Structures are given as C-alpha cells and as structure tokens.
C-alpha cells in the first residue's frame, strides 16, 4: 500500500517553475530519500505534502486521502521534522512532549507512556533540564520524539541533519534508521551520504523534474561503476600497471596519480575478480588494494549530468 502518492504535481512561484509534472509514490514501511541540489524543490515538495502550499497542478494523497491546501486533515497522519526545530525553551522535554500529546488529542492515559517510550528512543530519558539549554543535536533528537508523538503513518524529515556536527548527525541517523522499522519515512537532503544511511528508495529531483526513482541498490548497479584503488610501492610498477590495464575491455576509466591507480570497472560483478587475477599474475608489489563501492553520490552525479 502507498502511504504517499504524488501525482503529476507542478508548482510555480510566479514565473519560476520549481516542480514540473512530478510523480512518485512511497510504499508503506519504506524510507524514501528525496535528493537534489540546493533549490531543486525538496522543501517545496515537503510543504506541498503538509498542505502549506497549493500546487499549480496535480494532486497528492496520504494513505489514500487527498491533501487539501490549507486543510490539515491529512496532517493527523504525518509527523514533521524540520532542519532546525523550534521549542518553548522554558519547558523540560517531558513537559514539552506532554503539551504536544495534549494538542494532538492523545488520551491523558497514553501521554505518559508515549512520552517515556519516545524519550527512551531518542536517548533523552532522565534529562530534566529546560530545552533552552539543549545543544542542537539534543534539540533535533527531541524533534524526532515530537514528530512521532501522534504515531504518524508518514514521518517527513526535511534536511534533518544539515545543521548538525558529525557526532550529532550520526546520532540522528542512528535513531532515524530505527524509526524506519516502524513507520514510513520521507527524508530530503543534499547530504547524500546521510540519505544513503537511512533510505532504501531514492528520488532524484533536478530542474523541476524527478529524473529517477527506485531502489537504491538497483540504482547503484545500473548507474554507477565499481572501483578499485591500488597503491604501489614505486612509480615504475604503477606506470607499468597503467599501461597494461588501460586497454582492458572491463576497465571503464583509469587515472594515475604518482604511485596510486584508480580504476573504474564496467558493470559486471565478476570484473573485480578479473582485475585481481591480472594483478596477481603480474606479481606487482602493492601496498594496498581496495575495492571502492559505488555511492549514492556517484549515482546522483551520473544521473544529473546525463
Ligand atoms: N515562497 C516562495 N516564493 C518564491 N520562490 C520560492 C518560494 N519558495 C521557494 N522558492 C524557490 O523555489 C526554488 C526551490 O526551493 P526549495 O526550498 O524547495 O529548494 P530545496 O531543494 O529545498 O533547496 P535547499 O537544498 O537549498 O534547501 C528555489 O529557487 C527557491 O528560491
């Protein structure tokens, strides 16, 4: 079943077309990464999903119910985590979640239980300080708890890690990975390594269009190349290897920087073995032989350039 369906949606701000007939869907229990350059339309898409903007064309549904601009009925099914969540700084996390539970209409018998469960999930159990004294990472963790208080069918995370340092980012990504086991997530970001850590399906937005949508592993197979990096002990061996390897049919691209050779292989999985056979047959003395897995960034660059 589809939790979110974006059907032929267009969005214009006066003369600027931000989304041009964009369609995609997010099935239940998947984690969908919406990626694109700055200004590609990611936040606009998120705002359309929560009914804060009116599309110029097309429609969106959440769990089969149509999103209506200005009418927040479908928002009862949605949790929202922005890049920098705002709180009442004079409340403690427990007080804040209690308030959110009350606003959401959660029965008071459930609020206490839910609050404890969520504070545990985000590692803020036992923290009784006021939110005003929290670090950005702690605020973002509380933001996740707040977004989950109404047990949403869809959790929208709009650039949730962009304001955090590497430690804070890791904490948030670990929690979000956990959350994807229980609810459907849509995660927008231009930090592709973060998206890759959480999402199993990806949509690539570029110049108003969704260039590609699908399973991340399949995309990597189809749109990027496996690589090998070889560090030699001396430049002579590296030069010889360059000459031998450059014309092989399964070598797609080869670059040498002094004693290091970077080789991109054509797609077939057995190519790494073929390369290894040649390396051992030649008896080259290698300091390091490393397989480089294709990344979401490789896929993105390949798709956007095409
Ligand atoms: N209310 C608005 N009025 C006019 N133009 C807007 C409005 N909101 C967004 N835009 C423009 O729409 C384009 C897409 O913006 P959006 O914020 O959706 O991009 P984004 O992909 O989220 O970018 P970023 O990664 O930088 O956050 C940008 O050119 C932006 O300037």
Complex confidence, ipTM: 0.96
Q: Rounded mean pLDDT of 92-98? A: 94
* Closest ligand 1 atom to 36 CA: 21
Q: What is the mean pLDDT of the chain?
A: 91
CA pair distance 103, 126, nearest whole angstrom = 23
pLDDT of residue 79: 94
253 or 153: which carries more pLDDT confidence? 153
Residue 196 CA, chain-centre distance (Å), reads: 5
Whether residue 267 has pLDDT greater than 80: no
From the CA of 43, how far away is ligand 1's center (Å)? 7
Pocket probe for ligand 1: among 19, 38, 41, the residue whose CB has the most ligand atoms within 8 Å is 41
Taking the CA of residue 188 as reference, the ligand 1 atom at the shortest distance is 22
Residue nearest to atom 4 of ligand 1 (CA): 13
Say whether pLDDT at 268 is over 80: no
Atom 31 in ligand 1: residue holding the nearest Cα: 39
Per-residue pLDDT reduced to its tens digit, 172-189 = 999 999 999 889 999 999
Instruction: Name the helix (H) or strand (E) containing 26.
Output: strand 16-27
Q: pLDDT digit string (tens) for 109-140?
A: 899 999 999 999 999 998 999 999 999 999 99
Structure tokens at 157: 């995370």
Identify the pLDDT of residue 269. 61
From 6, 9, 16, mutation site for ligand 1 pocket: most ligand atoms within 8 A of C-beta: 16
Ligand 1 centroid to Cα of residue 42, in Å, is: 8
Q: How confident is the model at residue 71 (pLDDT cuts 50, 70, 90)?
A: confident
Range 294-299 average pLDDT: 87
Distance CA 136, CA 63 (A): 32
pLDDT score recorded for residue 197? 93
Task: Give which of 230, 234, 233 is closest to 279, Cα–Cα.
Answer: 230
Q: What's the token pair of residue 90?
A: 């004079």
pLDDT digits (tens, 9 = 90+) for 10-59: 999 999 999 999 999 999 989 999 999 888 999 999 999 999 999 999 99
Among 120-129, 156-165, 206-215, 270-279, which stretch is predicted with the lowest mean pLDDT?
270-279
Three-class SS of residue 224? Answer: coil
Pocket-forming residues, ligand 1, beta carbon under 6 Å: 13, 16, 18, 36, 38-44, 190
Share of the chain above pLDDT 90, in %: 64
Closest by CA to 137, choosing from 96, 177, 166, 94, is 166
Instruction: With a cut of 90, say whether residue 91 has pLDDT above it.
Output: yes
């Amino acid at each position: 079943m589809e939790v979110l369906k974006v059907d032929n949606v267009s969005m214009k701000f006066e003369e600027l077309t931000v989304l041009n007939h964009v369609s995609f869907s997010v099935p239940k229990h998947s984690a969908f990464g919406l990626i694109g350059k700055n200004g590609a339309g990611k936040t606009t898409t998120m705002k359309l999903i929560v009914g804060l903007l009116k599309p110029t064309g097309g429609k969106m549904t959440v769990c089969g119910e149509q999103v209506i601009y200005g009418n927040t009925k479908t928002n009862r099914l949605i949790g929202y985590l922005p890049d920098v969540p705002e709180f009442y700084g004079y409340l403690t996390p427990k007080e804040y979640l209690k308030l959110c539970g009350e606003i959401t209409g959660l029965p008071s018998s459930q609020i206490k239980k839910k609050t404890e469960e969520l504070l545990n999930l985000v590692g803020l159990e036992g923290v009784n300080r006021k939110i005003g004294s929290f670090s950005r990472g702690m605020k973002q963790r509380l933001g996740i708890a707040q977004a989950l208080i109404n047990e949403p069918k869809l959790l929208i995370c709009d650039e949730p890690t962009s304001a955090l340092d590497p430690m804070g980012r890791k904490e948030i990504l670990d929690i979000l990975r956990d959350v994807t086991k229980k609810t459907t997530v849509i995660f927008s970001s231009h930090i592709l390594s973060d998206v890759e850590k959480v999402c199993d399906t990806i949509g690539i937005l570029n110049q108003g269009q969704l260039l590609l949508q699908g399973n991340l592993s399949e995309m990597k197979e189809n749109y990027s190349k496996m690589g090998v990096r070889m560090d030699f002990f001396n430049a002579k061996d590296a030069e010889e290897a360059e000459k031998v390897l450059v014309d092989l049919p399964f070598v797609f691209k080869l670059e040498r920087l002094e004693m290091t050779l970077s080789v991109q292989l054509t797609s077939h999985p057995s190519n790494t073995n073929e390369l290894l056979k040649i390396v051992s047959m030649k008896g080259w003395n290698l300091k390091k032989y490393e397989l480089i897995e294709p990344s979401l960034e490789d896929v993105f660059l390949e798709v956007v350039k095409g």
